[in-house]
Structure 1
Amino acid sequence: MTTTSPGPVTARKATGSAPATARTTAAPATDQWPAVRPHLSSFDPDAFVRPVDRFVWEPVPVPHTGPAPDRPLAGRRLLLVGESAALVAAVSTELGERGALVVRSDPGTPLRADGWDGIVDLNVMGETYELGDTGWQSALTRTTEAIRAAYRRWADEPRFGRHVYLALTRLGGLSGHGDGEVPQPLGGIWAGLAKCLPRELPAAGIVVVDLDRADAGAIADAVEREYVRPDQFEVGYRDGVRHVLAGRPAPACPPGGSPPGPGDTVLITGGARGVGFAAARAFAESFGCRVVVTGRGERPEASEVNALDDEEFTAWRRRRMSGARTPQDLAAARGDIRRADENRTVHRNLSQAAADGLRIDYLRCDCTDAGQVERAFAALGDGPQFVVHNAGIDDPARFDRKSAESVVRTVDVKVTGFANLVAAILARPERRARLRLLSNVGSLAGRMGGMVGQIDYAAGNEALARLGFWARDNLGLPVQTLCWPTWERLGVIANYSAAVRYVSTLDPGEGARRWVAELASGHTDEAVFLGRIGAVLAPGQLRGFGMLTGHPDLPRLHALDHHLGEVEEYEIFRSLRTTRTWEADRHPCLSEVRVDGAPAVPVGVVVEHAVAAGDWVVPEGWPLLHLRELRGLRVRLEGLRFTGGSLTLHREARGGHRDGEWCVDVTVRDTAGADIASVTLVYGPEPAGHPPVRTERSSLGQPTGAGRLSWADVVFREARPEHGDEGLLALDPVLPADLWTVPFPPEPTLAPAAIETIVRETDRRSVRTSAGFLTIGRLVLSPGAQRVDELRAGAVPGRWTGLRAGVGVLLAEDVGLTD
């Protein structure tokens, strides 16, 4: 969800008492005040396209936070998988000595799917990579079978971190970045796979640990440190120092390089359609060079089907499908239509390029076939000056529905394709001499985790980036990797509307311009292009963004994290259970309120904490919903007091559809299990309307006593009557930075000054023998409720209207305090 900042408040002139009629101030334009807390940031696929920012990732030393538990692996039942039987045996012994119950699955041991708690994956660790190695295929098959065996049980487990997938890699201890060689770049397969797993197993603990040596003792030490409390997706240990990868903006390409010219050739694997062909056109147009694109089949010739326009092809497809009579006929028809569509697109692309005078040619070349790659290079004389490895497969399906063979096939296009290209370059000295750049086409799916159904796609792309580091540092080849988001309605992504819920898409024109600049620069590093971060997040994935700096969504991500706390249970689309501890005086708002003379957490903080639970409990499909109301709010004020300088809140939230509305019931309890607060959050597809504002006589009346609560009047200053009207109270603004001393203080959902003033005024007028319970029948939140200028006490007792620039933006009904 996005916690949006409201627009500026327009100050009103003092004009004396208002007449006893409805105010005539018009409701604000929708673009002036954003809606209150849109329920997740589900974005319109046709609108969520923005310029991307260029980022680079680099390792930074970060110690593990908090004390490690004593013997954290004791009693843990771990499945240990790996390609090296000797290393699996040695690590098994080490982990056993630390109390783990190890179940082995190495090349000589069949998989035993009998309820292990977690998977420790050694994959190809212990093997040094040689160009063209294929041992990764059996290792990935073993990993796939292990995850599939655990998949349903882990998916049904709500306890957060109850099951853990921990992948070990040997990329040099810095995840392939930094100085030094990369011994085993294919560890990138498992890094990409792991970072995408939270999309499908959101309650599982996921971590990738990169080491600078394949030593059984070092591996066991790392597992012991990282298994129980994974802080980040990726950590590395070099010379015993713990590192994590941090992303930072790098807006400009490094200077230098020798861009293609009219006498140069750019070879693009898989470049005849989609993103690859957009790049081919951009290169040919910008540099005047020759571009050769490739595909697995022969160049499509002119034909009746290839000549059809889009409307005619749609009719042809409908006729072809209507002729299917059996499931076999249907499968054949779909295959024919897919091939026809691909051939028609390639034919149209090449024909249009020729008509535009662009030097774009086509060669048949399946990059996973070394012979075909060699023939393609041979057809180009002494070889191309630039090679772009763009070929890829995206076959979206949940991981438990994919065969090991299909997973290997998807990764193979990136991994074996790269190896074959490098082998062809090195096969002849003149080819190596002519090569100025080998550019890998990677993806955000590998760098930061892809969408549901993309685990194997992410694995292949992340392996490609690590292979690029290896070829650069070990072979001295000029290799760069570009990690792209989804291009708007281009590329291999099968479901565009779903893709934009994960990350914003890239305008193809901007993508082409950026690609031209990257190729011209000739840099040999990884560049990541990242737009807005979308709706589809799991609580554990916030760790993946923890070291990201300079991104426009950081305030939103930090706001999500601020109220999240420690996740104990999470069922996607159903429920969340967390624990959060607030420490007295840690933030300004936690030094402000006293309940019966004892320091306490403000009511507004607990209400925001309850509201924030709804960010994670969402309907299937992540529709765009808006928080419209809080119903049945009940707060036990005595429960807000600090005990021993802190207050621990156990929060439970459960969502479901009720009378056509999405409702999330939230309960906040203390450590003894007693309720502190409860409320129902009500969402709808549109924001709530603005409540009318009338100036009828107020029912506020005079205070009846000193009240049981008190405020320091530092953060929440006492409201004052406006224009001599005791029922209209002017509020001093309270900004997020007034409440929280954090780099990105979260924007409130309800105006803090308004909530505390309602509580204060109600407390003053309530006679009771204890702090008692605050109850509010309902709180209606309209656009602008984040900031309130004035509060109007209604003619009906317990009714308040919040105003912003004279417009009603907040309505509280049935407000009371009782024993």
Structure 2
Amino acid sequence: MRNSRRNSTTAKRTIRHLKEVVRFGAPSPNLDGRTIAILGIGDATASAIISALHAEGAKTVRIQGNIPTEIHSDRDEAAAALRDALAPHGTTVDGIIDLGLGILTLPKIRDSWIAQYRQTIMALEIVGPEWARSGDANRHFYIALTRTGGELATPAAPENPHAGLWAGLAKALPLHYECVNTRVVDFPTYIDTQTLAYGLIRELYRWGSFEIGLLDGVRYRPVSVVEPTPAPILTLTDHDTALVTGSHIPVVCALARRLIDTGTRVVAAVAPSAPRSQRSYLLRSGIEPRTCDITQQNEVNALIAELGPHLSAVIHAEGADLTVEESNDPLDSANKLLERRIKGFLHLLDAVKNNADPAVISVLTSTTRPALAGTHNIHAGAIAELLSYVARWATQEIPPRTAVQTLTAGITDKSETAVYAHAWANEILATSEGAVDLGDRIEVTAGPMLARGYLAHSDVPGTRETRTALARIGRPEHYISDKSIAIRVDLAPAGDNANLDVRLEGNPCVPISVLVDQMVATAAWLTNDIRQRVIEIRHLTVNLRGLAEATMHLVRVAANLTHAPNNAMHARHIEVTASCMGRQVAHAVITFAGSYPSRPHTHSIESTENIAYPHPIGPHEAPVTMVWTGLAFDRVGERDENSGNTRYTVRPDRLTDQFSPGFVPAPRIGYNLIENLAARSYPNSPATAFTIDRLIIHAPSVTRGKLFLEPATTEGGTQTAWKASTTGGDVILEARGVAYNSGPACSAPACSAEEIHIQ
């Protein structure tokens, strides 16, 4: 079974390494006057941190660990105790430093970690609303202080793996709490408290890299390397048995079938409550179901003993697809998930140590990556990270001939199941230890004001390093849905520049300004990280599944790309596609030449459903030199038989987020409305030559005054810009006798009067 080799695989895998980075010389002056709460266990550590903060002018609130936060205690009583602790300070808490469970050892906390975690969650719930009202991401923060060795749990056996729960919370927190910077700062257990405090306070109010490790005077951050899976050293045959949990998860079932194809016997531990249909499906797939509650040690021991010496692989995925239920107390649901994920793994580990000597223990930490957990699933993301820490810690608890893997497969689509199952099977056969991320995509999670990018690059030489960005974005009214966002960025060095090939995918529930700002913030951060080199965005593709939002999305794309920090970016090509119910409804391609503040050189626009689409407007005094916008109309207008007019309706949300200071909204509205009406009136015309006798827009809630559009300039008989003038009144836009030509003149008849009401 062991030591038999086959050809090397080409499956992509991402593993983490540490990179030394510069240490800060002095604490940030922004600490002066801040109020910072210290949570968690460790009085000596807390005292040292408090003294260091006071020396920099900060005020502190120490939340002791004896507040009643047991899982079955009265939630209102615990929350009241926290409020009482915060009340005497009479001010908003600006940030939280969370010690978690300090340096307690794992055996002491198997049944108690949820209590301390509950205190963290309740403290965040108390300060969170005020943080949201403040909207100041430069002020508010959450720091998870971990003691796993100063190497961010990258070794095979990190110390104090329970810290993964708080590290995972920090990673998922921006999805739920607005306007907050988060960071994991890791130290060794042996460091003295004064040295710890010295290093910690220098990390505050200097946001950038999300994870920082401090070890023996050196400051580290993690980087990731995308590489092929090592050549297999294990061949499973019909003499081997693999035990799997979580067999109902599609990727696990696909993996099991792949192992069965090699002749391996696959046994699935199935919960007593599993439906009969699940057992029937497993049997049809060639998988042998065995009833076993993995939260009960005696049942796990019995199953491992039954499988005997032929057990070669243990694959733990139970709960990898689960989220924390949104209930009156989601932490109760989180505790149940902890039992299935963490206690289940520890029970398997104990049974293996006593009864078997498998070649590999493979742990699937998540199928939706903690970074992509939904708003109500920050607890599931935290637990997934905790499992990763615990599984790596387990290497010291198992026979030396056994490898422990932790894998994360960011499966966002069912079509990816087979791909990840293939990669996972290769990892098991390679029996490589450590943390592996299957895939090489960049992921972004965003709260209303935050973006974090995990950038893993392609095969281009010199681009294997994963960087992490954390930046403020958007505006307070923005929110993010529980749908995921994925951005792929490929970097290729080109002399002193770095070129990005960017593809952005999202969900229409997320405002485009959030999506675009995430990309811009990440690119701006990369600009700083590579010493102010120019970043050229060569290609940007935005695909939005859902309502036809694409035309409005170009507003912030163009504005942000041309207004990047230090004017460091050049936009070359933007492509936008929108689809509704699987049908494409808008498609736009814009190509740029030159850099800021140049005008677009060429552009081509296509639309399949007459959605208003953007064109550049003439020069103006605003600081943004390209303005793109669009308005979505009802597909069918209401025709007034008496007047011959057609009435269209524009939903108000189309106007709430399309302009920012410096934009020229009124001409842009009229320009697109006229163009849209032309497309509706003459969808098959080879040229959009038309005349509108009268155009009125009623929108008293948007602004007061009347605006008239007149042709301002012409180039070869083609209208290129508009001139606007305003008067008082309730109607904001009225155009008379306006002619527009985008091609050779044609004999299209004049439109009847059109009236557009904005509701």
TM-score, normalised by the number of residues in structure 1: 0.57
CA contact (8 A) 1:261 1:289 kept: yes
Match of 2:246 in 1: 270
Q: 3-state DSSP class of the match of 2:438? A: strand
1:727 matches 2:721:
no
Q: Distance in 2 between matches of 1:273 and 1:606?
A: 43
Mapping of 1:67-146 within 5 angstroms?
A: 70-109=28-67, 110-112=81-83, 114=87, 115-130=92-107, 133-146=110-123
Match of 1:237 in 2: 214
Higher relative contact order (CA 8 A, sep 6+): 1
1:460 matches 2:383:
yes
Deviations 1:68-103 (A, max 9, x none): 774332222222111334433443343333333222
Match of 1:486 in 2: 411
Q: Which moved more, 1:463-472 or 1:219-228?
A: 219-228
CA contact (8 A) 2:444 2:452 kept: no
Deviations 1:600-632 (A, max 9, x none): xxx9975854799999xx9xx9x9977744599
Of 351, 362, 366, the match for 2:283: 351
Of 449, 468, 477, the match for 1:571: 477
**How far is the alpha carbon of 1:121 from its aligned partner?**
1.0
Amino acid at match of 1:418: F
What is the RMSD computed on CA atoms of the aligned residues?
Answer: 5.3
Q: Distance in 1 between matches of 2:11 and 2:140?
A: 35
Of 447, 456, 475, the match for 1:548: 456
Q: Distance in 2 between matches of 1:62 and 1:800?
A: 58
Q: Distance in 2 between matches of 1:268 and 1:89?
A: 46
Amino acid at match of 1:62: V
1:443 matches 2:366:
yes
Match of 1:58 in 2: 17
How many pairs does the alignment contain? 557
Match of 1:45 in 2: none
**How far is the alpha carbon of 1:388 from its aligned partner?**
0.8
Mapping of 1:162-181 within 5 angstroms?
A: 162-178=139-155, 181=157
CA contact (8 A) 2:271 2:293 kept: yes
Q: Distance in 2 between matches of 1:127 and 1:485?
A: 32
Of 507, 514, 517, the match for 2:416: 507
Match of 2:332 in 1: 405
Deviations 1:183-218 (A, max 9, x none): 112211112121111122242212212223454334
Mapping of 1:263-662 within 5 angstroms?
A: 263-272=239-248, 274-285=250-261, 287-297=262-272, 342-353=274-285, 358=286, 360-382=287-309, 384-392=311-319, 396=323, 402-428=329-355, 431=356, 434-443=357-366, 445-446=368-369, 448-472=371-395, 476=400, 477-486=402-411, 488-489=413-414, 506-530=415-439, 537-538=446-447, 542-545=451-454, 547-550=455-458, 567=473, 569-573=475-479, 608-609=561-562, 628-629=612-613, 637=621, 659-660=650-651, 662=654
Q: 3-state DSSP class of the match of 2:161? A: coil
Q: 3-state DSSP class of the match of 2:380? A: helix
Q: Distance in 2 between matches of 1:399 and 1:273?
A: 21
**How far is the alpha carbon of 1:143 from its aligned partner?**
1.8
Q: Distance in 2 between matches of 1:88 and 1:655?
A: 55
Task: Identify if the C-alpha distance between structure 1 residues 568 and 406 changes in structure 2 by more than 3 Å, giving closer, same or farther.
Answer: same
**How far is the alpha carbon of 1:165 from its aligned partner?**
1.4
Q: Distance in 1 between matches of 2:319 and 2:630?
A: 40
**How far is the alpha carbon of 1:294 from its aligned partner?**
0.8
Match of 1:816 in 2: none
Q: Distance in 1 between matches of 2:738 and 2:12?
A: 53
Q: 3-state DSSP class of the match of 1:183? A: coil
**How far is the alpha carbon of 1:155 from its aligned partner?**
4.2
Q: Distance in 1 between matches of 2:178 and 2:459?
A: 24
Deviations 1:206-260 (A, max 9, x none): 221222345433443344233323212222222232222223322x211242232
Task: Identify if the C-alpha distance between structure 1 residues 424 and 637 changes in structure 2 by more than 3 Å, giving closer, same or farther.
Answer: same
Task: Identify if the C-alpha distance between structure 1 residues 676 and 220 changes in structure 2 by more than 3 Å, giving closer, same or farther.
Answer: farther
Q: 3-state DSSP class of the match of 1:413? A: helix
Match of 2:491 in 1: none
CA contact (8 A) 2:52 2:201 kept: no
Amino acid at match of 1:521: A
Match of 1:672 in 2: none
Q: Distance in 2 between matches of 1:588 and 1:262?
A: 54
Task: Identify if the C-alpha distance between structure 1 residues 228 and 372 changes in structure 2 by more than 3 Å, giving closer, same or farther.
Answer: same
Q: Distance in 2 between matches of 1:588 and 1:361?
A: 54
Higher strand share: 2
Task: Identify if the C-alpha distance between structure 1 residues 728 and 94 changes in structure 2 by more than 3 Å, giving closer, same or farther.
Answer: same
Task: Identify if the C-alpha distance between structure 1 residues 231 and 374 changes in structure 2 by more than 3 Å, giving closer, same or farther.
Answer: same
Deviations 1:606-665 (A, max 9, x none): 5854799999xx9xx9x9977744599686548689xxxxxxx9x9x9999981362355
Identity between Structure 1 and Structure 2 (%): 23
Q: Distance in 1 between matches of 2:340 and 2:560?
A: 51
**How far is the alpha carbon of 1:64 from its aligned partner?**
6.6
**How far is the alpha carbon of 1:284 from its aligned partner?**
1.5
CA contact (8 A) 2:12 2:439 kept: yes
Amino acid at match of 1:297: P
**How far is the alpha carbon of 1:572 from its aligned partner?**
1.9
Q: Distance in 1 between matches of 2:632 and 2:141?
A: 28
Task: Identify if the C-alpha distance between structure 1 residues 364 and 400 changes in structure 2 by more than 3 Å, giving closer, same or farther.
Answer: closer
Task: Identify if the C-alpha distance between structure 1 residues 170 and 362 changes in structure 2 by more than 3 Å, giving closer, same or farther.
Answer: same
CA contact (8 A) 2:667 2:723 kept: no
CA contact (8 A) 1:237 1:243 kept: yes
**How far is the alpha carbon of 1:549 from its aligned partner?**
2.6
CA contact (8 A) 1:634 1:776 kept: no
Match of 2:693 in 1: none
Match of 2:599 in 1: none
Amino acid at match of 2:198: D
Task: Identify if the C-alpha distance between structure 1 residues 604 and 60 changes in structure 2 by more than 3 Å, giving closer, same or farther.
Answer: closer
Task: Identify if the C-alpha distance between structure 1 residues 678 and 633 changes in structure 2 by more than 3 Å, giving closer, same or farther.
Answer: farther
Q: Distance in 1 between matches of 2:585 and 2:440?
A: 19
Q: 3-state DSSP class of the match of 1:171? A: coil
Q: 3-state DSSP class of the match of 1:72? A: helix
Amino acid at match of 1:480: Q
CA contact (8 A) 2:372 2:445 kept: no
**How far is the alpha carbon of 1:409 from its aligned partner?**
2.4
Q: Distance in 1 between matches of 2:558 and 2:534?
A: 11
Q: 3-state DSSP class of the match of 1:549? A: coil
Of 166, 174, 191, the match for 1:190: 166
**How far is the alpha carbon of 1:438 from its aligned partner?**
0.6
CA contact (8 A) 2:157 2:395 kept: no
Q: Distance in 2 between matches of 1:631 and 1:263?
A: 67
CA contact (8 A) 1:203 1:571 kept: no
Match of 2:75 in 1: none
**How far is the alpha carbon of 1:801 from its aligned partner?**
4.4
Deviations 1:290-334 (A, max 9, x none): 211112207xxxxxxxxxxxxxxxxxxxxxxxxxxxxxxxxxxxx
**How far is the alpha carbon of 1:266 from its aligned partner?**
0.9
Q: Distance in 1 between matches of 2:410 and 2:562?
A: 33
Q: 3-state DSSP class of the match of 2:279? A: helix
Match of 2:231 in 1: 255
Match of 2:5 in 1: none
CA contact (8 A) 1:393 1:410 kept: no
**How far is the alpha carbon of 1:282 from its aligned partner?**
2.1
